[in-house]
A and B are shown apart, each in its own frame.
Chain A
């Protein structure tokens, strides 16, 4: 997306195009809605200074939010564990909501380590292949596949 020189419209268009996806990704890594909002804000704030990069691609943003989230997890572990904004799932529509099932799946997701939750998100909700996830995470495809396997095994035991 080409940036008109330093305008709020540029940031607004970029936000409308990518923020929801980035926020959901951050929520799944951090398991914390408030922290996810902080992470998205950090990424977009840094973009303002990237005048030298005329093309901001989805992959670049995805990598940026990933780095930000794992950095937050390393540096602010105690605060994140104490946060109470852990309602990360919602029904596709109010009519289809099954609160008990939703809470059980949510609990199973929250019980996973962040890197396993990330793989589940990218595979199930974003539809990425293991290879694409491996490229994003900078890991081997076998590592990613193993993480997914461990995640599903753990969720299966909890559900």
Chain B
């Protein structure tokens, strides 16, 4: 049997058609308006990046909280000490609070 005869034998038949349900599966179930990935991908990427950065900054955030707590404790001790030295009354506490806050170093500002 030569090549042409084999090809002729093959051409007596055809390859099966797709099942009718395939069109329904692909087209009808594709829904209405198609939302392109280019529309939602930037938002999704931004959200993922934000989540990653937030989790990566967990250590720094904990350190900042710790320092803020320490400063608050130190400030209240100082106010207590100054208020006692001024007599200990409500007016003394008010004056001590003002004095301590004024005495604290101010954050540097740029011109």
Shortest Cβ gap from A1 to chain B (Å): 15
Are A8 and B32 interface neighbours, CB within 8 A? yes
Residues A37 and B19 in contact in the complex (CB < 8 Å), given A89-B13, A90-B14, A92-B13: yes
Residues A88 and B9 in contact in the complex (CB < 8 Å), given A6-B36, A11-B26, A37-B22: no
Count residues of A near B (Cβ-Cβ below 8 Å). Answer: 44
- The listed residue (B1, B11, B16, B18) touching A159 by CB distance below 8 A is B1
What's the Cα separation between A98 and B13 when bound, in Å?
A: 9
What's the Cα separation between A44 and B27 when bound, in Å?
A: 9
Are A15 and B15 interface neighbours, CB within 8 A? no
| Cβ < 8 Å to A, chain B residues 4-40 | 6-7, 9-19, 22-23, 25-28, 30-38
Number of inter-chain CB pairs below 8 Å: 106
Count residues of B near A (Cβ-Cβ below 8 Å). Answer: 30
Q: Nearest CB to that of B7 among chain A residues? A: A124
Are B16 and A87 interface neighbours, CB within 8 A? yes
- The listed residue (A41, A44, A51, A88) touching B15 by CB distance below 8 A is A88
Residues A124 and B18 in contact in the complex (CB < 8 Å), given A6-B35, A7-B34, A49-B37: no
Q: Nearest CB to that of A34 among chain B residues? A: B19
Residues A45 and B11 in contact in the complex (CB < 8 Å), given A8-B31, A23-B17, A87-B16: no
What's the Cα separation between A37 and B24 when bound, in Å?
A: 12
* Interface, chain A (partner B; CB < 8 A): 5-8, 11-12, 15-16, 19-20, 23-24, 27-28, 33, 36-37, 40-41, 44-45, 48-49, 51-52, 87-92, 96, 98, 101-102, 105, 120-121, 124-125, 152, 155-156, 159
Are A152 and B6 interface neighbours, CB within 8 A? yes
